[in-house]
Amino acid sequence: MKPKSRSRILIGMVMLFLVAAISVAVYLWRQNTRLRERLQAATPRQEEPASEPIRMVREGDELPEFTAPNIDGQEVKVAARGSRQTLLFIYSPSCDRCEASIPGWIKISNKLQQLHSSTQVLALSIADSYTTVQHTRKMKLPFAVVPFPSIELQKRYGVTEVPLTVLVNQQGKVQAVWSKPLDEGEVGDVIEMVCPECIERVGF
């Protein structure tokens, strides 16, 4: 047999082998796909529980009490049950609308302090501790500032947007919510709700 004939035979045999191997591979792949589809069809699907949407805090909500350090490292009880109501300023240092809220918050805090109100006044920051500390020192905020210790707790407080001004009674229930920067009249409204006798002592 001539060498050329042998080469052609070998090439033909190799080609036949490759075709056969490819055919077997395709057959096995199809069988595997069909088996997987049958198994998936036979397995009952477990529906994932729908995540409950977070809604913004509103009047009548009961806020959880928690203890966390303020920016000076002192432990602060937030929304504590007892004899004092709590006025919360909830904000982010990087929020322009929060920056617009700060002058009104400072005015409220200063007036309540001047009138010896027993109300706990503090701010809750949704930013990390370092950013909160730097911002607080820069702005020279006169009230205690506590960074939220966890995202989960922030959700439980219904913080879907900032700024928020929230008045909480002695039982931990929300009495009122302001969800925007406070104008001059609203500053007076907050003080009147927190300390009704203040309106008789201070003009707005």
Q: How far apart are CA 61 and CA 47, in angstroms?
A: 30
Nearest CA-CA partner of 174 in 82, 78, 86, 66: 86
Q: How far apart are CA 12 and CA 164, in angstroms?
A: 81
* pLDDT tens column, 83-126: 799 999 999 999 999 999 999 999 999 999 999 899 999 999 99
* pLDDT tens column, 132-186: 999 999 999 999 999 999 999 999 999 999 999 999 999 999 999 999 999 999 9
